Amino acid sequence: MIQERPLPTFKASTAEVSKEEGLRLYNDMVLGRTFEDKCAEMYYRGKMFGFVHLYNGQEAVSTGVIQTMRPGEDYVCSTYRDHVHALSAGVPAREVMAELFGKETGCSKGRGGSMHLFSAKHRMLGGFAFIGEGIPVATGAAFQTKYRRESMGDESADQVTAAFFGDGTSNNGQFFECLNMAALWKLPIIYVVENNKWAIGMAHDRATSSPKIYKKAEAFGMPGFEVDGMDVLAVRSVVKEAVRRARAGEGPTLIEALTYRFRGHSLADPDELRSKEEKEFWLAKDPIKRFSAYMTEHNLATNDELKAIDKEIQAVVDDAVQFGLDSPEPNPADLRKYIFAEE
Amino acid sequence: MAETLMFNALREATDEEMARDNTVLVMGEDVGHYGGSYKVTKDLYKKYGDLRLLDTPIAENSFTGMAIGAAMTGLRPIIEGMNMGFLLLAFNQIANNAGMLRYTSGGNYKIPMVIRGPGGVGRQLGAEHSQRLEAYFHAVPGLKIVACSTAKNAKGLLKAAIRDDNPVLFFEHVLLYNLKDTMPDGDFVQPLDKAEMVREGKDVTILTYSRMRHHCTQAAKALEKEGYDPEIIDLISLKPFDFDTIGASIKKTHKVIIVEECMQTGGIAAELIAAICDRYFDELDAQPVRMSSQDIPTPYNGTLENLTIIQPQQIVEKVKAMVDGQI
Ligand SMILES: Cc1ncc(C[n+]2csc(CCOP(=O)(O)OP(=O)(O)O)c2C)c(N)n1
Ligand SMILES: [Mg+2]
């Protein structure tokens, strides 16, 4: 038997989910999963290139965090594993898929690719290919909100920023430096560590002297929580409190979501180091299966209703692919466009 | 004599030097159990153990600094940048400490370390993973900068870099790891400071390095058929330049084209042309020309990416124009 870190328990009965909200969460997770499965297919069919990092298995985190915020109004900052965060933040599947195809209609105009998804309109701060870069950037967005409110007198500036990153990244300097600044200035930010146990081939326990990442918050005088990242309702519950704190000017929160990626690090990773037992342990906790069971058991949806959603989402993703395929390539004459801000 | 792929040639070099000298070790992300992102250190941890193939946390600035400290105190670390771009995070330690410390300490310390890994523009890897950092590091005093380009020189140069008492930035290219060569037998070490004559010719001197060497030889094949006879020199050492080889060629052809993958502004060619003008101005029959990639972040889109870096056909045209007296 493998020894897994015990997942914190969450009493689903305390969740208080309306049918409407439940369906929204379900929708968002299924969109993430279906989109990523399609990406794998498109990659193997030679429609997308480079390093493509899929999010399968971690959907409850993206959904549980972003859908508990105000998507499109609050800020989201991601990594190279960014497709699903972008989708949860409201970037249309069409624009994400077109970007992965390198098309002019992509959210980054085909210039960025998989690891560089941006959408100012949806307050998606990016897609950052190097680990850790997003943490200071997100901290800066949170600083901006505080600045607007306190220095510019803008009462409506109550946005919260969510910064996503992995367990491996929490060993990088930016993590500690930003936790300090965010706590020091009480910035409205939520640091979300998606601890999926691995940083490519490096097991978390081999990379860090103190594996419980949420406990590192304490050194900075910041609240830290661990949460079952395979349970969307558990994630939603801790995020609710973190969002409340942030909006109330009480400062940042560190959340460590225990989760797992169902695929290799990227589609180029042979994924030879993770054991079969470990994979099976986590596959059995599939966040989508778990939440559909919750929905039906609590009479929030019937199996048929959920199946209908699955079908609708499949259509959305198929449409995104068609849109991407039909979209034009960037114009070679525009090679040097976007270097500087134009008038 | 065995045929070997470049990634394996690099592995052989590392293995041989580790066997020869127990102060040699490798540090970096996934260099141990995973075997390196391009398999350059595959299974070496089984032979040398976890401390000599040190899997580090993702903390580039600090583990590079650690390697410097270890080098100052007698070890010979090899840092693998999983992608050379990640060493941007270690720029401070590389520039201020690896590069300058020998000088600022008035010769108290030497820093025998190698910083190696994949660089260059791959296939649609996006801007951050498609860097050309050789130019960024070029101005740092105290660093030797080397770019390998074939399986054979990869092996010989890496062995020399490991034995060198200075910090050596050693650029490999993501798209060259599967090039094949026949390896010389025995302890094959290639000097770091010597350029390689790739093709002798009399019409024009083409100076290049890394992957662009192969674009140049491809161009030369087309040019030969039309009666042109370019000389191609692989610089190998980007710092310092091998002016013996460069100068001899210029005195023969009186014309220079530099082909590089880095961006034009502040590029390797920018410095090289200035140095050539300083030394050989009177030898030149035409203005030296540089062919560099565009001054833009590498775009993801494939068509735009191809337009960003120099293609063999452009080299063909430029050589013709120069030799025909149109430049
Ligand atoms: C600065 C930097 N160093 C190294 C890398 C290479 N790299 C990409 S992802 C990764 C592992 C990150 O693991 P983790 O933070 O746990 O996130 P996960 O991939 O598991 O989501 C590494 C080392 C990088 N992209 N940027
Ligand atoms: Mg991880």
Name which of A47, A49, A133 to mutate to probe chain B: the one with the most chain B Cβ atoms within 10 A of its Cβ: A49
Residue with CA at minimum distance from ligand 1 atom 21: A166
pLDDT digits (tens, 9 = 90+) for A278-333: 999 999 999 999 999 999 999 999 999 999 999 999 999 999 999 999 999 999 99
CB A76 within 8 A of CB A123: yes
pLDDT at A15: 82
Adjacent-strand bridge partners of B112: none
Q: Which domain holds residue A196?
A: 17-285+300-321
Say how far apart CA B177 and CA A253 lie, in whole Å. Answer: 44
Residue A340 lies in a domain: no
Active-site residue, B60 included: yes
Average pLDDT in the B36-52 region? Answer: 97
Statement: residue A149 has pLDDT above 70: yes
Q: Where are the alpha helices (DSSP H) in chain B?
A: 6-20, 44-48, 60-72, 91-92, 101-104, 134-138, 151-163, 212-225, 243-253, 268-280, 302-308, 312-323
pLDDT at B321: 97
Residues with CB under 5 A from ligand 2 (ion): A 166-167, 196, 199
Average pLDDT in the B48-71 region? Answer: 98
A196 Cβ inside 6 Å of ligand 1: yes
CB A38 within 8 A of CB A56: no
Query: What is the complex's ipTM, to 2 decimals?
Result: 0.93
Average pLDDT in the B36-53 region? Answer: 98
Say how far apart CA A189 and CA A69 lie, in whole Å. Answer: 11
Q: Kindly report the CATH number that applies to the domain delimited by B2-183.
A: 3.40.50.970
- Point out the ligand nearest to the CA of residue A174: 1
Distances in whole angstroms, Cα of residue A82 to Cα of each of A71, A242, A268: 15, 22, 17
Residue A80 lies in a domain: yes
Nearest residue of A to residue B57, measured between CA atoms: A207
Average pLDDT in the A61-88 region? Answer: 98
* Interchain proximity B299–A335, CB inside 8 Å: yes
Active-site residue, B29 included: no
Q: Is B301 on the interface with A (CB under 8 A)?
A: yes
What percent of chain A has pLDDT above 70? 99
Residue with CA at minimum distance from ligand 1 atom 3: B86
pLDDT at A217: 98
User: How many CB pairs below 8 A link A and B?
Assistant: 117
B31 Cβ inside 6 Å of ligand 1: no
Of the CATH numbers 1.10.1380.10, 3.40.50.920, 3.40.50.300, 3.20.20.70, which one belongs to the domain with range B196-323?
A: 3.40.50.920
* Both structure tokens of B107: 């010769």
pLDDT at B163: 98
Residue A175 lies in a domain: yes
pLDDT at A343: 60
Phi and psi, residue B89, nearest 5°: -70, -20
- One-letter amino acid at A263 equals R
Q: How far is B116 from chain A (nearest CA, A)?
A: 18
Average pLDDT in the A229-258 region? Answer: 98
B1 pLDDT tier (thresholds 50, 70, 90): low
CATH topology agreement for domains B2-183 and B196-323: yes
Residue A7 lies in a domain: no
The rounded mean pLDDT for chain A is 97
* Interchain proximity B299–A171, CB inside 8 Å: no
* Both structure tokens of B306: 């191809």
CB A197 within 8 A of CB A281: no
pLDDT at B2: 78
Say how far apart CA B205 and CA B249 lie, in whole Å. Answer: 6
What percent of chain A has pLDDT above 90? 96
Q: Which residues of A touch B89 (CB under 8 A)?
A: 130, 132, 172
Name which of B129, B300, B307 to mutate to probe chain A: the one with the most chain A Cβ atoms within 10 A of its Cβ: B300
CB B161 within 8 A of CB B170: yes
Name which of B64, B123, B304, B310 to mutate to probe chain A: the one with the most chain A Cβ atoms within 10 A of its Cβ: B304
Residue A6 lies in a domain: no
Q: How many domains does chain A have?
A: 1
Statement: residue A3 has pLDDT above 90: no
* Interchain proximity B58–A132, CB inside 8 Å: yes
B80 Cβ inside 6 Å of ligand 1: no
Identify the weakest region by mean pLDDT among A9-13, A36-40, A323-327, B182-186: A9-13
What percent of chain B has pLDDT above 90? 99
A166 Cβ inside 6 Å of ligand 1: yes
Average pLDDT in the B40-58 region? Answer: 98
pLDDT at A1: 60
- Any idea where the domains of chain B sit in the sequence? 2-183, 196-323
A198 Cβ inside 6 Å of ligand 1: yes
User: Using N-to-C axis directions, what is the helix angle for A134-150 and A173-184, rounded to 10°?
Assistant: 10
Residue A292 lies in a domain: no
Closest CA to B99 of B127, B71, B75: B71
Statement: residue B224 has pLDDT above 90: yes
pLDDT at A89: 98
pLDDT at B244: 98
Average pLDDT in the A46-69 region? Answer: 96
pLDDT digits (tens, 9 = 90+) for B186-221: 999 999 999 999 999 999 999 999 999 999 999 999
Say how far apart CA B179 and CA B189 lie, in whole Å. Answer: 19
Residue A225 lies in a domain: yes
Q: Measured in angstroms, how far is the CA atom of residue A311 from the centroid of ligand 1?
A: 34
Q: Residues with Cβ < 8 Å from A208, sequence gap 6 or more?
A: A167, A170, A171, B57
Phi and psi, residue B290, nearest 5°: -115, 140
E-strand ranges in chain A read 75-77, 124-126, 161-166, 189-195, 198-199, 202-203, 224-228, 253-258
pLDDT digits (tens, 9 = 90+) for B239-254: 999 999 999 999 999 9
* Both structure tokens of B68: 């410097």
Q: Count H helices, E strands: chain B?
A: 12, 14
Return the number of other C-beta atoms located less than 10 Å from residue A173's C-beta: 15
Q: Residues with Cβ < 8 Å from B283, sequence gap 6 or more?
A: B250, B251, B254
* Both structure tokens of B131: 């860097």
pLDDT at B327: 85
Average pLDDT in the A182-192 region? Answer: 98
Residue A250 lies in a domain: yes
Q: Residues with Cβ < 8 Å from A13, sequence gap 6 or more?
A: none
* Both structure tokens of B1: 């004599």
A-contacting residues in B 215-244 (Cβ below 8 Å): none
pLDDT digits (tens, 9 = 90+) for B95-115: 999 999 999 999 999 999 999
* Both structure tokens of A110: 């085909």
B48 pLDDT tier (thresholds 50, 70, 90): very high
Q: Measured in angstroms, how far is the CA atom of residue B99 from the centroid of ligand 2?
A: 33
Closest CA to B299 of A69, A152, A110: A110
Phi and psi, residue A98, nearest 5°: -60, -35
